[in-house]
Amino acid sequence: MAVTKHGRFIYITNTASNNISFYYVDEQGALYLIQNEAAKTDDGPLDIVVAENNYFVYELNSKSNTIGGYHRKLKRELEFISSASNLPAPATGLATY
């Protein structure tokens, strides 16, 4: 799970269905599902981060050994922009700064 900079939106990787879900968090902390499949991923999404600038989302796929990159659009939709492949098999997490 990755939370945006101001804590209002959450992206969650779903390993079994190979996608990313998108939630809104209200002022009381209640979660609301916005999109069940905000983006389709490669095989086995394991980890996800939102970049510090709040404009990009990256997810790590453990079974395909790839990282997917997405741009957060105006309505918080995810648009696929790039991927990195041939990661070493023991890759297990992402970090952002």
Distance from C-alpha of 87 to C-alpha of 52, rounded to nearest angstrom: 23
- Tell me whether residue 69 is exposed, middle or buried, using C-beta atoms within 10 angstroms of its C-beta: 0 to 12, 13 to 18, 19 or more: middle
Query: CA torsion angle for 80, 2, 7, 55 (degrees, to 10)?
Result: -30
Dig out the tokens for 6 from the structure. Answer: 């101001």
Both structure tokens of 97: 């700064």
The pTM of the full predicted model, rounded to 2 decimals, is 0.90
**Averaged in consecutive runs of 10 residues, what is the pLDDT profile of the chain (97 residues)?**
94 96 95 95 95 95 94 87 89 81
How many Å separate Cα 53 from the centre of its chain?
15
Amino acid 77: pLDDT: 82
Give the integer Cα–Cα distance in Å for 45 and 68. 9
